[in-house]
Amino acid sequence: MIGSIYHSQPLVPCRTLCEMAVAVSTVADTCAAAKRAARILARTETDVKDAALEAIAAALIERSEEILAANERDMRAGREADIGDALLDRLYLDEHRLQAIARAVRQIVALADPVGQVIDGHRLANGLDVRKVRVPLGVVAVVYEARPNVTIDAAALCLKSGNAIVLRGSSSAAHSNAVLAAVAADAAVGAGLPDGCVSLVAGGGRTELAELATQQGSVDLIIPRGGEGLKVALQAVATVPVMYAASGNCHVYVDASADLEQALAITLNAKTQRPGVCNAAETLLVHEHAAHEFLPRAAQALADAGVAIRADERARHAIASSHANPHLVIENASDEDWATEYLAPVIAIGVLASLEDALEHIARYGSGHSEAIVTRDTAAARAFQLGVDAACVYVNASTRFTDGGEFGMGAEIGNSTQKLHARGPIGMRELCTFKYLIEGDGHVRL
């Protein structure tokens, strides 16, 4: 049963202009201010939150020149530091991408407010009414690398779900994040949300990260969105609960019965549509009965798209057997290749004897993010769905669809590969917990 409950307390009035949370000097002070804001946000009416998000979306366009100038400073520094094309692509903003970010904010406005939704409800035999309802987590800290769009996506999701947010971006996007956080905080507070609802901590490196990860009295959840290095760093110090938006070593498996035209289109999309993201495919696995017909075409198409190929012996033999392009460069795949999230135009290719071998390979090397099978065999599709341990499992579709926006969530903070509290795209419902509301009429327990 899905319903809603009334907010029993009025919204506490707040100042119309923000004493910027991003200017608070210490991590502890920033998190304490966020905690105060979270108590107000938890009982803020939906229309107030939606008005704040509309104000943020409008401000992104109105202040685009300021935002893009800051982003260009980060891009220039990134090019000078030679951070690589994948990270530069994540970092880059232009008018089109800003408009897309603003649209995502407005999509969140259009979604139902999860706060107060009744998950379950019933009347006990003794007459007590029990309801299980969604409530905000409180203060969510988001630690992320490179992507400045996360600043707005995460802020919008947290505010709509009644949470205050503390942002900590990477040094590579320092200027972009500072302006975007200021835009979001100014607009949100100007529209009626409390000071401290959006804040940014910057500088301090690992010491500051450790301080943020130990704010047990203020921070209710930390979500790191980045590589394995960030995950390891947090695992070593965190005393606050952590939901890992982890890396994606994703596979496309082409089964013996696959429609090879579909398989080619899915493989190319999964690998080349945007190679530097966590839902891009890093490994192509092909059943031996499809390998000789499929792999020569697939390898040529991948190479034509600028993808470097690393293949096992059986895959190399299948590719070479066609004699279509004797100059095609194929490197030998190593164990390290199977375990690598390239985030680059590189793919590992292997040929396997069975679906069971594919499941075993994915179990050994996969990260639990997104896995795909291309098949016309219903039994094989079902076996793959049941046998793969991942947040998102696709049949005849690209792994690139693992995304909060694509899933109708408006946006996402990241993709969780964990099994507890949330799995897959982290949207508004994943930023909520629940409480039980029990109503009686003078009931006492005998």
Report the DSSP beta bridge partners of residue 287. Answer: 352
Residue ranges of E strands in 83-220: 118-123, 129-136, 139-144, 164-168, 198-200
Task: Answer whether residue 7 shows pLDDT above 70.
Answer: no
Task: Answer whether residue 238 shows pLDDT above 80.
Answer: yes
What is the predicted pLDDT for the residue at 326? 67
- What does the alpha-carbon distance between residue 143 and residue 170 come to, in Å, rounded to a whole number? 8
What SS3 state is found at 442? Answer: coil
pTM for this one?
A: 0.84
DSSP letter at 242 equals B
- What does the alpha-carbon distance between residue 345 and residue 275 come to, in Å, rounded to a whole number? 6
Contact indicator for 263, 291 with CB cutoff of 8 Å: no
* Residue ranges of domains in the chain: 21-245+413-439, 250-401
Is it true that 21-245+413-439 and 250-401 share their CATH fold? no
Task: Answer whether residue 46 shows pLDDT above 90.
Answer: yes
Task: Answer whether residue 148 shows pLDDT above 80.
Answer: yes
Amino acid at 309: I
What is the predicted pLDDT for the residue at 230? 83
Given pLDDT bands bounded at 50, 70 and 90, which one contains residue 204? low
Q: Provide the CB-side half-sphere exposure for 96 (13 A, CA).
A: 1
User: What would the DSSP string read from start to end of 395-433?
Assistant: ESS-GGG-STTTTTSS--S-EE--SSS--EE--TGGGEE
Task: Answer whether residue 259 shows pLDDT above 90.
Answer: yes
What is the predicted pLDDT for the residue at 202? 79
Largest CA distance in the chain: 85
**Length of the chain counted residue by residue:** 446
As a whole number, mean pLDDT of residues 269-273 equals 97
**pLDDT per position as a tens digit, 311-354:** 999 999 999 877 666 678 899 999 999 999 999 999 999 999 99
Match domain 250-401 to its CATH number in 3.40.50.300, 3.30.2020.30, 3.40.309.10, 3.60.40.10: 3.40.309.10
Task: Answer whether residue 4 shows pLDDT above 80.
Answer: no
What is the predicted pLDDT for the residue at 325? 67
**pLDDT per position as a tens digit, 278-315:** 999 999 999 999 999 999 999 999 999 999 999 999 99
Task: Answer whether residue 87 shows pLDDT above 70.
Answer: yes
- Please give the mean pLDDT across all residues of the chain: 91
Contact indicator for 358, 387 with CB cutoff of 8 Å: no
Task: Answer whether residue 90 shows pLDDT above 90.
Answer: no
Q: Which CATH superfamily is domain 21-245+413-439 in?
A: Aldehyde Dehydrogenase; Chain A, domain 1 (3.40.605.10)
